[in-house]
Amino acid sequence: MGRPRNLPVAAGLGASKNLAESVSFENAVATLTRDRFRGADQVRVPVKLLWGTRDFVLFPWQAKRALRELPDARLVPLPGAGHVPTWDDPDAIVRELLSA
């Protein structure tokens, strides 16, 4: 989270508990570190990448890699937002969704 103060304590505890108890977590990490996105040539809709400038899961510099895979995508940096920008800056998310 880029702005952890925006996350209600109960939601943070619930998310942490769900992650810790997830039976698929290790499989998901293995898949994410092994596989790459393929099929960009089949994407037929506009793509907007909303990327938090304080994302410590998908680091901001990785947006360049995403743009190489989806060269027609539009990158929208979200200043101060982390990996869960819906908590960090919900107004920016709504604004970007409605402007699509």
CB atoms within 10 A of CB 66: 17
**Spatial separation of the C-alpha atoms in residues 91 and 79, rounded to whole Å:** 12
Residue 41, pLDDT score: 86
pTM tops 0.75, yes or no: no
Which residue's structure tokens are 């942490």?
16
Q: Quick check: 25 pLDDT over 90?
A: no
Mean predicted confidence (pLDDT) in 10-18:
87
Residue 76, pLDDT score: 94
In this structure, the dihedral spanned by the alpha carbons of residues 47, 48, 50 and 53, taken in order and rounded to 10 degrees, is 110
The pLDDT-based confidence of 3 (bands split at 50, 70, 90) is confident
Q: Quick check: 30 pLDDT over 80?
A: yes
**Fold assignment, 4-98:** Rossmann fold (3.40.50)
Q: Quick check: 93 pLDDT over 90?
A: yes
Q: Give the domain ranges of the chain.
A: 4-98
Summarize pLDDT for 37-92 with one digit per residue, the tens: 788 888 999 999 999 999 988 888 899 989 998 989 999 999 999 988 988 899 99
φ, ψ for residue 57 (rounded to 5)? -105, -55
Where do the DSSP E strands lie in the chain? Answer: 48-52, 74-78
Question: What's the residue count for the chain?
Answer: 100
